[in-house]
Amino acid sequence: MRVIAPDRPGCGKSQPKPGRALVDWPDDVRALADSLAIDRFSIAGISGGGPYAAVCAWALPERVSGAAILSGIGPTDHPGATRDMLWTNRLSLWLARHAPPLARALLGLTRSQLRNPERALTRMASTLPAPDRAILAQPLHRDRLIAEFREAISSTTEGAIADLRIFASPWGFAPEEIRVPVHMWHGELDRNSPIALARRLAAAIPGCRTTFAPDGGHLFPLLHLDEVLKSLGL
């Protein structure tokens, strides 16, 4: 099995792409696959990566053999979409769409807090449901999450700002038009991306299979990665 994990524009060491939209991403994925001489592949996205997996399933049916959406955020451009979401997430989405300078300031604060990652993660964990706190208590997952946060905003916060703006806006395509097999994994106690968003998206995607965990939070799929890979035929 070969795992390829590209950074989205402006995240990690990837250069920002001003004004990018969600529907631009499949072109990048196609170009990457072409450069690596890969004809067919499965795709997975966790949390904010969920919409990017969905748009590839929509735009690249001739290349994508299957998609997994893990704790993915669904479309938020309908009334009440963010009602059960953490207030910090609601604020971030609103600021990214209506007041980008304030969103940059908020993410700058997040970056500074990561200078003391243990304290930052402890503060974040206090807002999460018990299943997520239990996962974060495991050194493997805790250290991995800290490393991912640090790398994502290591050079600039522009990628994160663009992501938030995209999540707060219409996606630019209809999930009802997806013709690739999709399996969705989501915890019903998730407060980062509420289960209502996942249910709405799953209902829109034709033939979408779902694994919804009544006692799972946002990090629930991390404990079931073997099953996720099997769902993709790997």
Task: Quickly state the pLDDT bin for 174 (edges 50, 70, 90).
Answer: very high
Average pLDDT of the residues in 45-71: 97
Nearest to 57 by CA among 164, 177, 233, 232: 177
Q: Are 198 and 73 in contact (CB under 8 A)?
A: no
The beta strands (E) that lie in 2-150 are given as 41-46, 64-70
pLDDT at site 1: 84
The pLDDT of residue 151: 78
At 31 the pLDDT is 97
What is the average pLDDT value for the chain, to the nearest integer? 90
Tens-digit pLDDT profile for residues 93-134: 888 888 888 888 887 777 777 677 677 777 778 888 999 999
pLDDT: which is higher, 157 or 55: 55
Q: Domain 22-231 is classified in which CATH homologous superfamily?
A: Alpha/Beta hydrolase fold, catalytic domain (3.40.50.1820)
pLDDT of residue 114: 67
Distances (CA, A) of 186 to 63, 72, 197, 221, 223: 25, 8, 10, 7, 12
DSSP string, 48-72: GGHHHHHHHHHH-TTTEEEEEEES-
Q: Tell how strand 182-187 and strand 64-70 pair up.
A: parallel
